[in-house]
Amino acid sequence: MTKIKNFRIPLRAREIARWLKKERGLEATPDLEVSIEQLIKEAKVWIEPAAVYSTLTRQIAEKTTTIAFPDKAIAVSVIAVSIGTSIHQKRPEAASDPVREALLAALEQEALSQAVQFVVRLLQDQANEEDCEMSAPVSAQENVVVSALASLVGVQRIGVELVPTAPEVPSCVRVAWLFWTPIGKGGSRAPACRQAGAEKAVA
């Protein structure tokens, strides 16, 4: 398993505005755009990205997870990311201000998406070295599945404690996975990185 912490992620105002329109019905206005830009500036001290991930061969993953594999996939990388608890804690405080709460919710989703994409780029480099291509990341929806996969990769190593009796994972955490599929010759070869068990910390 690999752990990384304190990496930088971009926050895209356009994507935040798109989420607000799609999920909360808020149309883009000059005032809203100013609020988004201001929130992004504020959020620089709130967001503490961290991730832990592991690549499993198909044989191991099918025994230890409920992930359904595509026909030609030979391995899967499971990712758990956290952006820290600050935004998660601020959302209830903003309950009396629907626009502020929506902005925080959108910010949280954008930060999680960018944290996942950061890890995806690292995995894609590994996949290229192994003559494999990677699928788009799939995010788990069911709390039981999310909790099981988060435990599998050791999400506690990035400061997230799961309650055994409560499968719900905090909104500041996202779990996703990507499949490895061989390209060219040697199609049955599993990625060598499945054996990488040492931690990798990035300050």
The CA distance from 108 to 11, in Å, is: 10
Residue 133 bridge partners (DSSP): 181
Sorted by where each starts, the structural domains of the chain and their CATH numbers stand as 2-195 (3.40.109.40)
Residues of the chain short of pLDDT 70, as ranges, are: 164-167, 184-203
pLDDT at 164: 67
Q: How far is CA 179 from CA 20, 58, 138, 146, in A?
A: 30, 9, 9, 17
Which residue from 124, 169, 171 is spatially nearest to 150, judged by alpha carbons? 169
pLDDT at 165: 64
As a whole number, the mean pLDDT across the chain is: 87
Question: What is the helix, strand, coil percentage profile of the chain, to 5?
Answer: 45, 15, 35
pTM: 0.86
Q: Which two tokens stand for residue 96?
A: 């009396």
Q: Which two tokens stand for residue 156?
A: 């506690």
